[in-house]
Structure 1
Amino acid sequence: MNASVIDYWSGAFSRRATPLSLMRDLTRWNVALSARQRPPWAHEAQQSVVGEWPLARLRDYSAPDAEPDQIPTVILPPQAGHASSIVDFAADQSQIMVGRDNGCSRILSMEWIGATQETKDAGIDDYMALLREVADQLGGKVNLVGDCQGGWLATIFAALHPDRVNSLAIAGAPIDFHVGEPLIHDWLTVLAPDGDMSFFRSAVSANDGILPGRFLLDGFKALQPDQELSRSLQLLTNMHDSDYVERHRTFEDWFQWTQAIPGEFYLWIVEHLFIRNSLIKGELEVEGRTVDLKDIRCPLFLMAGRTDHITPADQVWALADYVSTPPERIGRQSARSGHLGLFMSHEALATHWPVIFAEMGALSTPTPEDDPEVLTDEPSQTQPTMFEQAPELQAAAPQAAPAKAAPKSAATKAATTKAATTKAATAKAAAPKAKATKAAAPKTAAPKAAAAEAAAPKTATPKAAAAKTATARAAAPKTAAPKAAAAKTAAPKGAAPKAAAPKAAAAKTAVPKAGTTQAAPAAESAAATPSPARTPSQAAPVQEPKPTTAPKEPATPKAPTAEQGTPSSERPTATP
């Protein structure tokens, strides 16, 4: 904040601003902060409305040459008092167009309509009925992509109607509302102590049964009030940068323009999802049935933001632990962004969504051989993964290729990944034999041999091998003698060259036999121990050790940070 003020006055002095020009700056600044208009859909000319209901419209953005037999993809935008156009935010920031250009050529989006007196009593059952009609209109089966509130809505629908959902993707969508660092839940414990809904019911009652979008907007601002002030002062500093002012105006038109939500629906969300956490507990009743997440068996894509203070990553990852989808059919993406950046930042749209849409598109063709066998899975290194929480799943989940690998089809990338995984496992199996023929190997030979003996089965991933090797290296003795003794123990009799004999003899003389027999098992035990799950408070990414016994995989291109080449209008750290 202080830096922005200093920057403004420094600029004013450098351009020799007069009192009149300062007044002009303040006037333009005030207009830029307060003048708002309805946010447009950036590619509206390339779409058509193919369905309309009291609660929503269905916009079709399908490519002119879209394959008619491809299973369509439907995006469910956030529904938190803002316009749905965030999924088509700007010419170069459109989640819809990224999907269309990366495999999902038949792509549509819901547009939530603001609540009126006619729709104020709409509830969760009405939204389920709406999605059923959409699926039936599009052929009976769809891919669902749910952002934030659209994510848990899509999840509930997939659990109740699994036959209508081909694949499911959620981004920044809370499934377990109480894990991670649940900032919103912490606020609710203050506003609704012991589950008392009086505060929220009075807000709906005071507005004739609807919840104004401004109510939610003010709540988001209250989560990070310093960011709201900082963003306003940054605008003042950049009032003479026309591009900056335009980006700011575009974002603020979307962020500040609000629409109402049906009061009945809003109260249901607060009580059953945010307070009771009924979805993850298996206690949620919708359409007269209990929502059971185990009924979800379709391919699953999860996406979270590393700095998302609205929906911490753990709340998104949680879905993987409750569905029946096989682990290799669960893909995860972790964006270097906050909440809103998941849907419209350059980094998310250029790095993560193309991977999701490409694999989703491959799953949507009428030919099963196009299906990727393994989905790309690269969760944030700062969050506990389902494999860290349940190590026994690791052997059943081959690691997928890096998100930004060569521009191949999704199916090709998956096949390449599977081949690389098998190659890595083969190399691990061969490692002990290779080590046995090299008694004069470098100092690291013994820990490597110990790690190889305790290696995972064939399906173990290179990443897992790296963790095991690093653990074994730390646990193995550092002196040369125990290493030589361990190497001698691991090698078949007579396989070591004569040059190793003096070293082995020295080891036997210098180290008691009891100590020698404990060295290798210690390394094996350490290698077999899974890495402890990290907590969400560990915000800094941890650099994992490189594997020493598996072939080197293609390096993932380093994605730019959320701040590099990113206009302030898309930096979600500055907005709730």
Structure 2
Amino acid sequence: MDLPFPIDPERLHEELAAFQRKIVNGLATWRQPGPVSYGSTPREAVYREDKLTLWHFRGEEPPTARTPLLVCYALVNTPWMVDLQDDRSLVRNLLAQGEDVYLIDWGFPDAADRWLDLEDYILGYLDRCIDVVRGRHGKEPLNLLGICQGGTFSLCYTALHPEKVRNLITMVTPVDFHAGDSMLSHWARNIDIDAMVHSFGNIPAELMNHVFLTLKPWRLMQQKYVGMVDILDKPADVANFLRMEKWIFDSPDQAGEAFRRFTTDFFQANKLVKGQVMLDGRRVDLATLTKPILNIYAELDHLVPPASSLALRDATGSADYSELAFKGGHIGIYVSGRAQREVPPAIHDWLRVR
């Protein structure tokens, strides 16, 4: 019987033996890193409320920017992807550029937070964090950087409170939730979200992690662990791998009502780009956004396709609208070497002239 491809038995034996040696020798490497952590940049808590913490970061030099920059991350996962480690930190590099950086850490919701709604997050927590930052800087408008779902929150907030925001930056932010080829969007549009929230209450983090992993099952659940063998003799690379794994699986549950509302209004009904989102009786109309906007998107993003983010171009009413394309994916835009070189300087340069 002819095989579809030739097999060299001797070479196969050598490769299997080398693979086995790497596994055996790597056992010692696994014991070297010890516990891994993220959030490496010095910081202090300047405000706490319920599960939320507002952090203020300290750079090696005092900030030169006159306007503070507040980072609003998504509710899914913890925000420490922006400060994963010393050499992979959006926050650290923004500080090095002279920015004065704050970050909202939403915390881990529990049963007491089951009925938190989008108004609670956007018009409540986010608004109060913005007021705290502004209060520390003469009550002037601040610069707002919204990431992923946090960018969607930031768009809604700025549309309703333009007097508190000087410049708006959105990063890998969905605007048209039906644009582009997004498996996540297709799934979200075809589930009974009311039954899901009724059954679970808060949506378990384990379920959310499973959903994200199954978007790319081969790459995220098999290939990366096979490829891990190649770094077993490199303690620093093993520590980086473990740090990323810790961040992925150390995720918060999602407050049930806010999750239900975001899924039905944004993913299913696509109300944001249609100008139909209502928050506390007020309509969110992106056409009323006149603040300067920098829209950063990832060209290889499988969670937020470029078309979803680029819909902001025609939806906003800003006369000062800019775009920045990043040659990478949804996670690479925070942690890759290219991201460290390109994204923080681009943000700083854009803010500096405004």
TM-score, scaled to structure 1: 0.55
Superposed, 1:327-342 pairs within 5 Å as 329-342=320-333
Q: Secondary structure at the match of 1:301?
A: strand
Residue 223 (1) aligns with residue 201 (2): no
Identity of paired residues, percent?
Answer: 20
Indicate if the aligned counterparts of 1:147 and 1:343 stay in contact, CA closer than 8 A. Answer: no
Residue 142 (1) aligns with residue 142 (2): yes
Matched residue type, 1:40? Y
Superposed, 1:508-527 pairs within 5 Å as none
Residue 108 (1) aligns with residue 105 (2): no
Give 1:96 shift: 1.1
Q: Secondary structure at the match of 1:177?
A: coil
Partner of 1:253: 246
Superposed, 1:43-442 pairs within 5 Å as 43=41, 46-63=42-59, 65-66=62-63, 70-80=66-76, 82-104=77-99, 106-127=100-121, 128-139=123-134, 140=139, 141-189=141-189, 191-192=190-191, 197=192, 200-207=193-200, 209-228=201-220, 229-326=222-319, 329-363=320-354
Structure 1 Cα separation of the partners of residues 70 and 101 of structure 2: 6
Q: Secondary structure at the match of 2:110?
A: coil
Structure 1 Cα separation of the partners of residues 259 and 286 of structure 2: 22
Structure 1 Cα separation of the partners of residues 13 and 256 of structure 2: 47
Distance 1:101-1:270 versus aligned 2 partners, 3 A rule: same
Structure 1 Cα separation of the partners of residues 334 and 253 of structure 2: 21
Q: Secondary structure at the match of 2:124?
A: helix
Indicate if the aligned counterparts of 2:26 and 2:232 stay in contact, CA closer than 8 A. Answer: no
Structure 1 residues without counterparts, runs of 5 or longer:
1-6, 364-576
* Higher RCO, Cα 8 Å, sep 6+: 2
Structure 1 Cα separation of the partners of residues 186 and 244 of structure 2: 28
Give 1:250 shift: 1.4
Q: Secondary structure at the match of 1:167?
A: strand
Structure 2 Cα separation of the partners of residues 98 and 320 of structure 1: 27
Matched residue type, 2:171? A
TM-score, scaled to structure 2: 0.87
Matched residue type, 1:223? L
Matched residue type, 1:89? L
Indicate if the aligned counterparts of 2:62 and 2:98 stay in contact, CA closer than 8 A. Answer: no
Matched residue type, 1:276? A
Give 1:306 shift: 1.1
Give 1:120 shift: 1.8
Give 1:305 shift: 0.9
Give CA deviations for 1:74-101 in whole Å, capped at 9, x if unaligned: 0012321x22111111101111122222
Indicate if the aligned counterparts of 2:63 and 2:98 stay in contact, CA closer than 8 A. Answer: no
Give 1:203 shift: 3.6
Indicate if the aligned counterparts of 2:26 and 2:233 stay in contact, CA closer than 8 A. Answer: no
Indicate if the aligned counterparts of 1:162 and 1:295 stay in contact, CA closer than 8 A. Answer: no
Give 1:356 shift: 1.4
Structure 2 residues without counterparts, runs of 5 or longer:
1-10
Give 1:40 shift: 2.6
Structure 1 Cα separation of the partners of residues 84 and 12 of structure 2: 29
Structure 2 Cα separation of the partners of residues 171 and 38 of structure 1: 27
Matched residue type, 2:243? T
Distance 1:306-1:16 versus aligned 2 partners, 3 A rule: closer
Superposed, 1:437-476 pairs within 5 Å as none
Q: Secondary structure at the match of 1:338?
A: coil
Structure 2 Cα separation of the partners of residues 260 and 16 of structure 1: 39
Distance 1:10-1:303 versus aligned 2 partners, 3 A rule: farther
Indicate if the aligned counterparts of 1:168 and 1:301 stay in contact, CA closer than 8 A. Answer: yes
Indicate if the aligned counterparts of 1:36 and 1:252 stay in contact, CA closer than 8 A. Answer: no
Give CA deviations for 1:18-51 in whole Å, capped at 9, x if unaligned: xxx85x469779x89xx997843111xx210000
Indicate if the aligned counterparts of 2:36 and 2:243 stay in contact, CA closer than 8 A. Answer: no
Moved more, 172-181 or 354-363: 354-363
Partner of 1:13: 17
Give 1:132 shift: 1.7
Q: Secondary structure at the match of 1:334?
A: strand
Residue 40 of structure 2: which of 36, 39, 42 is its match? Answer: 42
Larger Rg computed on CA atoms:
1
Distance 1:166-1:348 versus aligned 2 partners, 3 A rule: same
Indicate if the aligned counterparts of 2:182 and 2:305 stay in contact, CA closer than 8 A. Answer: yes
Indicate if the aligned counterparts of 1:295 and 1:323 stay in contact, CA closer than 8 A. Answer: yes
Give 1:10 shift: 4.5
